[in-house]
C-alpha cells in the first residue's frame, strides 16, 4: 500500500513558469529501461555519456528548451522520459508493510502546495499519523512552544549556520546567506516572533520534515528553526525552505550529516 499526503494529488509541474527549474544544475542519471528506449534515437544519445545526460556549459539539460519546456516530452510524451525526471520531486520511504510517498520542498511548486496548505497534514488513504506530527498541529499551544516540546533545547542560529557551512555547497548564494545568519545571529526571540506570526506555514514545514525523516524530531525542529532564521534575515519562507532543501536534503552526504548533527 502506498500512502501520500493529500496535497500530492494537486501537484503538477509548472514547467515554463518555474523560476528554479530542476532541469538545470543537477546530475541526471538515466535508468536502464529508459536508456534502452533512448538507444534507437541518435539525437537523444548524442547528449548521453554512459548513463548520464551531458549538461550544457551553463549546466542546463540539453532537452530543456528556451520556453522552459522539455523537448523530449514535447516530441515523445511524458511516459518516454527517464524515471528520475518523471518522478521528481517525489520521494518514497519504504517500510516493512507499506510505502510512504511525498513531494520534496526543493521544487518551488511543491513548496507552495506544502507550505500554503490551509488544513492539517493528512494521508491518503487515511492512516494514523505519528505523535510528533499530531503535536505540531495541536493548536492548544503556539507553534514555537510545540517545537520546544519536540526538542526542549535547540542550537543557536550561528551554531546551526556554522555547521551548515561545513557541508558541500550547491549554490554560492547559500554560503552568503549562512554568513549573513552568522553576522546577524537572530536569537530565540526573533525566531519565536517569525514562527508564531506564520503558524500555519511553520507547522506545515515541520510536519514535512517529520513525515519525510521519521524518528528524527531533532532534525525536524532544527531544520524548521534554520528556515525561521532565513526568514529573520529577510528571505521569504518558500524560498528559504526551497534553498534549505536543495542544499541539505538533496545531497545524501549533507542530509546524513545534518540528521546526525541536529538530532
Ligand atoms: S522544480 Fe518543480 S515546478 Fe519546477 S520544473 Fe522542476 S518539477 Fe517542475
For 94-147, give the DSSP string.
Answer: E-SS-EEEEE-TTSHHHHHHHHT--S---EES--PPPHHHHHHT-TTS-HHHHH
Span from the CA of 85 to the centroid of ligand 1 (angstroms):
10
Residues in contact with 126: Cβ distance below 8 Å, sequence separation at least 6, in sequence order: none
Choose one of 10, 13, 23, 242 to mutate for the ligand 1 pocket test, by most ligand atoms within 8 angstroms of C-beta.
Answer: 13
Span from the CA of 177 to the centroid of ligand 1 (angstroms):
23
Q: What's the pLDDT at 81?
A: 96
Cell of residue 104, nine digits: 520534496
Q: Among 139, 103, 134, which residue's Cα sits nearest to residue 121? A: 134
73 within ligand 1 shell (Cβ under 6 A): no
Q: What is the pLDDT of residues 190-239, one digit of tens each?
A: 999 999 999 999 999 999 999 999 999 999 999 999 999 999 999 999 99
DSSP 3-state percent helix, strand, coil across the chain (nearest 5): 55, 10, 35
What are the residues facing 123 on neighbouring strands? 5
Q: Whose CA is nearest to atom 1 of ligand 1?
A: 107
Q: Among 196, 199, 243, 253, which residue's Cα sits nearest to residue 223? A: 243
Q: What is the pLDDT of residues 90-116, one digit of tens each?
A: 999 999 999 999 999 999 999 999 999
Q: Among 196, 209, 154, 159, which residue's Cα sits nearest to residue 181? A: 159
Amino acid at each position: 500500500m502506498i500512502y501520500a499526503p493529500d496535497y500530492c494529488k494537486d501537484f503538477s509541474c509548472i514547467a515554463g513558469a518555474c523560476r528554479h527549474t530542476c532541469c538545470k544544475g543537477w546530475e541526471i542519471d538515466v535508468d536502464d529501461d529508459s536508456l534502452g528506449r533512448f538507444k534507437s534515437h541518435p539525437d537523444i544519445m548524442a547528449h548521453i555519456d554512459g548513463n548520464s545526460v551531458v549538461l550544457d556549459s551553463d549546466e542546463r539539460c540539453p532537452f530543456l528548451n528556451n520556453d522552459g519546456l522539455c523537448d523530449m516530452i514535447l516530441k515523445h510524451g511524458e511516459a518516454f522520459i527517464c524515471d528520475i525526471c518523471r518522478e521528481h520531486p517525489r520521494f518514497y520511504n519504504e517500510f516493512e508493510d507499506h510505502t510512504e510517498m511525498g513531494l520534496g520542498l526543493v521544487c518551488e511548486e511543491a513548496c507552495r502546495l506544502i507550505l500554503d496548505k490551509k488544513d492539517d497534514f493528512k494521508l491518503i488513504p487515511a492512516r494514523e499519523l505519528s505523535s510528533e506530527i499530531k503535536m505540531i498541529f495541536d493548536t492548544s499551544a503556539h507553534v514555537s512552544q510545540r517545537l520546544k516540546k519536540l526538542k526542549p533545547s535547540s542550537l543557536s542560529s550561528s551554531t546551526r549556520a556554522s555547521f551548515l557551512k561545513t557541508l558541500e555547497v550547491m549554490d554560492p548564494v547559500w554560503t552568503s546567506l549562512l554568513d549573513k545568519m552568522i553576522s546577524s545571529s537572530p536569537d530565540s526571540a526573533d525566531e519565536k516572533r517569525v514562527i508564531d506570526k506564520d503558524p500555519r506555514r511553520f507547522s506545515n514545514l515541520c510536519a514535512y520534515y517529520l513525515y519525510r525523516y521519521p524518528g528524527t524530531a531533532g532534525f525536524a525542529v532544527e531544520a524548521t528553526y534554520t528556515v525561521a532564521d532565513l526568514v529573520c534575515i529577510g528571505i521569504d519562507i518558500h524560498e528559504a525552505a526551497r534553498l534549505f532543501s536543495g542544499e541539505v536534503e538533496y545531497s545524501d552526504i549533507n542530509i546524513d550529516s545534518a540528521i546526525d548533527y541536529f538530532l
